[in-house]
Each structure stands twice: as C-alpha cells, then as structure tokens.
Amino acid sequence: MRCLLTRLLPGAALGLFALTAAMAAEDIVLRGMGSFHVGGRIVEVSGKPVRTIVRQPGGPPSQLDPNGQYMVEQMYVQYFLPKNRKGKLPLLMWHGGGLTGVTYESTPDGREGWLNIFIRKGWDVYNSDAVERGRSGFASPDVWPSEPTFLPYADPFERFRIGDGAGSWNADPAKRRVLPENQFPVEAYENYMKQTVPRWLTTDDAIIAAYVALVDKICPCVILVHSQGGAFGFKVAEQRPDKIKAIVAIESATAGIVGKAAALKNTPILMVFGDYVDQHPRWAAFKKIDLEYAAAVRAGGGKVDVIYLPELGIKGNSHMMMQDKNNSQIAEVIQKWLAGKGLSN
C-alpha cells in the first residue's frame, strides 16, 4: 500500500463567502423549521458468523458479532416554512447521485443556493438526503451485500460539464480545460467535492420506498428533482400521481418507466437542460431518455414543457446549475413556470 497525502490549501478566503453572502440579503422570516426522518424498517440480522476485525490500525484483533436488530433505510428531511407563504403546496427538493440535500444549500463559493432562494420566494421547502446518504445513515454489509462507491476528485469536473469532458481536468488549475462561458464556480471546486458522499448501486428500491413515505406524509406537493433524483422522482410520481402536482426535473439522469408514464397525465412537468448537453454523449443520452419519457407522458394525455437554457440566451450552465453563478436566474425561470401553472401567488 502506498498513499500520498496532500494537505489542502486552508481556503480561508473561500470560507468567508458563506457569511458575507448570507448576510447581504433581506431577513428570512420563518413560521417554523425543523427536521424528521421518514420510512425505514427494522432489520434483524441473524445467523451471521462472528467476525474478527481490527478496530484500530496496528491494534489487536477483536470480535464483532453482527447479529441483532438494526434501524435501516430511513430518510432525513429538513424543512423551512416561510412566514410569507406564496407557494400553494410544499416544494420537495431531491438531490442527485453521490450528493445530499447540501446540493441546494449554500453554493461551493458561499452564495445562497436554491433552498434559500425558494424559501425567499415563499415556498415551504423540504430538503432531504436520499437513503444511505448524509444524515439518512447507511446499513451494514450484512444488510446490503454490496460495497459503496467513491467519487474520484476530478470526476465531476470532467463529467458534469464544468470542464470539457474527459481529459479536461488538470492538477494545475491554470491548465484545466473549462467549458466556454462556464457558470460553475470553478474556483470553489474543492468545496464542491467536499459535498460529495459515497453511494451504493443496489439501494434504489429502498430509496424509492423512503421517498414514497415522504410523499405520503407531506404531499400534495411539487417535487424538484436533479439528476439521479429524477429517476427516483418520476418513478415515485408514477406510484403517487394524485399527490405530486408538478415535477421540475433538472437534467434528470434517466426518467420514469415509459409504460407507466400515462399515470402523470394530470401532473405538469418541466424539464430543464443546461448548456453543452448535445456536445457531451453522456448528457445527450440522458436527454434522449428524458425526451422519450416526455413523449410517453404526452401520449398519455399529459403535459411536459422542456427548456433548453441556451435557447433562452442563458449560456454556460453545468449539470450543477443550482450552484452555478447564475443560479438565481434559473430559479426565476422555474418560479415563472410554477406560477404559470397556478402553483404560486
């Protein structure tokens, strides 16, 4: 084994962004805020052998008996209820893969994220961490027989249309090949990577079950979904079409099940895509899947609007557009659509 450890720059200058940005705007007046967990189950692990593990590197081996009852597959949700409520329904924000609800909080460079922005627009916002991520916790290998996966440092830079695809990352910031007019705060990329968390590839059913539990608790509602969260969002909506009154899908990474799309005939859908989607095969492929799903919804009598931001003259948006420098501009595009559907005063 060989590990090269590189200390990061202290980043003190970046860190100050968070406070200055937050205090620049008007007060946020809440009639309530809090958190809760939904879903989950008690699992009883039994019949497993007692294992010998080393609890501390270099320390003595010790025994671990994994048998017993555990709480697993619950989901964490934090909510903020503005006093000046204008959204007619709760707005649920569901993040993408390898991330948590932090996606919607302060941006990596410390500006306000969509959580604050939509609270300020008068929405009751419920921001969650999908099962097995963040404050939802995760289960042991005795419950989930697969390993978590870890996101390499340069991966989102190349894959999320911050850099210009494979090979665009370089350890030297000056040599990174950033997309023209890129809106992502690349100078704070390190902070973005701090937001990432491991994920499993085998927990989709548990994640969907917890989202359904959330919908059953809080909705009728609007859901705003991003990337992998879209794959979950559309499938949950197919199961609870009467409770999900609108879907805003930000570059949904796969969508619902085409054969069930007609369930959404009464649920207006907005799909939003950033810049350079067609130039990057991975995103072109996701877009194709989304549009095929949109066609199926329409064929079932539903309504889907698709916005390509560059067609509105909004250029350079990455896959993480809720953190991009023009994130408030995009939030306003979404707000206008929601208001047009009669969902906000």
Q: What whole-number distance in Å separates Cα of residue 277 and Cα of residue 283?
A: 5
Instruction: Check binding of 43 to a copy of itself (CB under 8 A).
Output: yes
List the one residue from 196, 267, 335, 344 that touches a copy of itself (CB under 8 A): 196
Q: Which is nearer to a copy of itself, 112 or 251 (CB)?
A: 112
Residues 132-151 that bind a copy of itself (CB under 8 A): 134-135, 137-140, 142-143, 145-151
Ordered strands of the 221-226 beta sheet: 68-82, 125-129, 91-94, 221-226, 244-250, 269-273, 304-308
- State how far the Cα of 53 lies from the Cα of 257, in Å rounded to an integer: 43
Contact call for residues 183 and 325 (beta carbons, < 8 A): yes
60 binds a copy of itself (CB under 8 A): no
Extended strands (E) in 144-211: none
Report if residue 308 touches a copy of itself, rule: CB under 8 A: no
Q: Is 174 in the site for a copy of itself (CB under 8 A)?
A: no
Identity of the residue, 197 or 304, whose beta carbon is nearer to a copy of itself in the bound complex: 197
Rounded to a whole number of angstroms, the minimum distance from the CB of residue 6 to a copy of itself is 5
| Site residues (CB under 8 A) for a copy of itself, limited to 82-101 | 83, 100-101
Alpha-carbon gap, residue 37 to 136, rounded angstroms: 8
CB count within 10 Å of CB 151 equals 16
Q: Which of 69, 170, 279, 345 binds a copy of itself (CB under 8 A)?
A: 69
Q: What's the CA gap between 267 and 281, in Å, rounded?
A: 29
By CB under 8 A, tell whether 311 contacts a copy of itself: no
**Position 239 contacts a copy of itself (CB under 8 A):** no
> Which residues are bridge partners to 80 per DSSP?
33, 125
Q: Which residue in 50, 85, 152, 284 binds a copy of itself (CB under 8 A)?
A: 152
**The one among 102, 215, 224, 330 contacting a copy of itself by CB under 8 A:** 102
